[in-house]
């Protein structure tokens, strides 16, 4: 039944597809692929669609063209952070991302410039234009509690109950930055393994906090970690910088507590920072008198009262001191415990996989 055809039975021969039809088919497939490539959204389009930002092309005097996307991005607790994202013109694949954190009483515009040269001083070759020209996605945002990120003139409903500045607290300001970077990764704008931070003073201290943070997850659950941090004239321990007690040493191990006893307050600095935060940045300060760690009015009043600074008899002062644990890159016990290497008797360095990824050195 299924054997070979009988001798003499004519065979049916199918004629091959002509070369012309094959060529037309190939051209059609190529055209479809090209059309698909053309429809791939740019990073600026993703920023507009997924983050709700408004984007516009910018061309600088030194001929750098990029997309500047601006608007409010909701952070982890719903508060809207006034944000600018500079994106290489026409980029359609995720890029390395750099967040540039401003100093106390400044805002998102501090690290923004009209040219790569910046102001010729602090922002010289260190600004959004300089880095976007090198292919980076650059994030500039105003910190929580200032200007249009819930400063006193920002009356958005999302500014309550925690819209005030928490003074570079890991649980708030650090989490804000991590949330923004995470949303850029989730939107396909930033590469998850190429996230960096820089900042000056207040922003420099926050860069240290980010650099000594354990890996975190984006809103969509992507595991992230800062790849690099460049802190410009920062503090590493905020309380130690404002009220040093002389216990810190250059040694790796610090047997004395850096926060006890309470140190000598730099009253002129503290008073000046309190005033400029309000006057120049419309700073919103915590008004709850029982929030010792974030009520800057109460903290200033206590400093001005003078001695004795004895936390054992002053519960308010003790609560204030304890709150600064979350504002110290030194007090990153979980990070340093995870990121620890040891040396074997043979002199070899042994590091955990997480430590190797973090490029930590042996201690």
183 Cβ contact list (under 8 Å, min separation 6): 51, 73, 218, 219
197's enclosing H/E stretch is: strand 190-201
Residue 335 vs residue 90, higher pLDDT: 90
- Identify the CA nearest to 139 among candidates 186, 93, 102: 102
pLDDT band at residue 277 using 50, 70 and 90 as cut-offs: very high
Look at 72-86, 119-133, 348-362 and tell me which has the smallest mean pLDDT. Answer: 348-362
DSSP sequence for 136-167: -EEEEEPPTTBTTBT-TT---GGGTTT-S--S
Q: Any alpha helices (H) in the chain, and if so which ranges?
A: 19-38, 43-51, 128-132, 175-186, 202-211, 238-242, 267-279, 296-305, 315-323, 333-338, 353-357
pLDDT at 3 over 60: no
Q: Which tokens hold the place of 8?
A: 């003499």
Q: Which tokens hold the place of 306?
A: 């003078």
Over the stretch 139-188, which tens digit does the pLDDT of each residue have?
999 999 999 999 999 999 999 899 999 999 999 999 999 999 999 999 99
Asked whether 182 and 73 are in contact (CB, 8 A), the reply is: no
Phi, psi of 19, rounded to the nearest 5 degrees: -60, -35
d(CA 148, CA 162): 14
d(CA 90, CA 79): 30
pLDDT band at residue 352 using 50, 70 and 90 as cut-offs: low
CA 148 to chain centre: 18
pLDDT at 354 over 90: no
Q: Is 211 helix (H, G, I), strand (E, B) or coil?
A: helix
Phi, psi of 21, rounded to the nearest 5 degrees: -65, -40
- Interhelix angle 296-305/267-279, rounded to 10 degrees, is 150
Mean pLDDT of the chain: 89
CA 70 to chain centre: 16
Residue 318 vs residue 358, higher pLDDT: 318
- Identify the CA nearest to 320 among candidates 286, 291, 297: 291
Over the stretch 50-67, which tens digit does the pLDDT of each residue have?
999 999 999 999 999 999
d(CA 321, CA 300): 13
Domain residue spans of the chain: 41-236+332-357, 238-328
pLDDT of residue 363: 41
d(CA 360, CA 329): 15
pLDDT of residue 14: 44
**At CA 222, angle to CA 220 and CA 225, rounded to 5?**
135
d(CA 127, CA 115): 9
pLDDT of residue 332: 86
CATH (residue range 41-236+332-357): 3.40.50
pLDDT of residue 1: 46
Asked whether 213 and 205 are in contact (CB, 8 A), the reply is: no
Asked whether 145 and 285 are in contact (CB, 8 A), the reply is: yes
Over the stretch 29-46, which tens digit does the pLDDT of each residue have?
766 665 555 689 999 999
pLDDT of residue 254: 77
- Stated length of the chain: 363
pLDDT of residue 302: 92
Q: Is 342 helix (H, G, I), strand (E, B) or coil?
A: strand
pLDDT band at residue 260 using 50, 70 and 90 as cut-offs: confident
pLDDT of residue 249: 83
First to last CA, the chain: 82
Helix and strand numbers (H, E) in the chain are: 11, 11
Over the stretch 188-218, which tens digit does the pLDDT of each residue have?
999 999 999 999 999 999 999 999 999 999 9
pLDDT band at residue 87 using 50, 70 and 90 as cut-offs: very high
Three-state SS string over 92-107 comes to: CCCEEEEEEECCCCCC
């Amino acid at each position: 039944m299924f054997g070979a055809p009988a001798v003499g039975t004519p065979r049916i021969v199918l004629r091959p597809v002509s070369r012309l039809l094959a060529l037309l088919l190939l051209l059609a497939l190529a055209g479809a692929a090209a059309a698909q490539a053309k429809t791939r959204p740019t990073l600026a389009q993703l920023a507009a669609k997924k983050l709700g930002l408004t984007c516009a092309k910018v061309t600088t005097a030194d001929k750098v063209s990029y997309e500047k996307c601006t608007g409010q991005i909701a952070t982890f607790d719903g508060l809207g952070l006034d944000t600018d994202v500079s994106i290489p013109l026409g980029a359609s694949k995720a890029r390395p991302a750099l967040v540039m954190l401003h100093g106390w009483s400044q805002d998102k515009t501090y690290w923004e410039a009209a040219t790569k040269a910046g102001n010729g001083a602090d922002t010289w070759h260190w600004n959004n234009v300089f880095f976007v020209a090198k292919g980076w996605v650059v994030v500039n945002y105003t910190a929580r509690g200032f200007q249009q990120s819930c400063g006193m003139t920002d009356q958005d409903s999302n500014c309550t109950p925690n819209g005030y500045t928490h003074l570079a607290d890991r649980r708030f300001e650090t989490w804000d930055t991590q949330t923004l970077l995470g949303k850029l990764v989730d939107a396909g704008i930033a590469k998850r393994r190429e996230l960096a931070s820089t900042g000056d003073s207040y922003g420099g201290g926050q860069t240290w906090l980010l650099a000594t943070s354990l890996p975190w997850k984006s809103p969509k659950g992507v595991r992230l970690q800062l790849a690099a941090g460049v802190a410009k004239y920062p503090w590493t321990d905020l309380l130690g910088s404002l009220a040093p007690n002389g216990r810190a040493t250059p040694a790796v191990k610090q047997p004395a507590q850096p926060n006890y006893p309470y140190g000598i307050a730099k009253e002129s600095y503290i008073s000046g920072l309190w005033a400029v935060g309000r006057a120049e940045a419309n700073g919103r300060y915590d008004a709850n008198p029982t929030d010792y760690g974030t009520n800057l009015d109460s903290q200033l009043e206590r400093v001005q009262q003078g001695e004795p600074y004895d936390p054992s008899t002053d519960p308010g002062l003790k609560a204030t001191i304890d709150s600064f644990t979350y504002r110290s890159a030194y007090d990153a016990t979980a990070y340093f415990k995870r990121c620890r290497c040891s040396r074997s008797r043979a002199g070899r360095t042994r590091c955990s996989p997480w430590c190797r990824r973090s490029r930590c050195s042996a201690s």
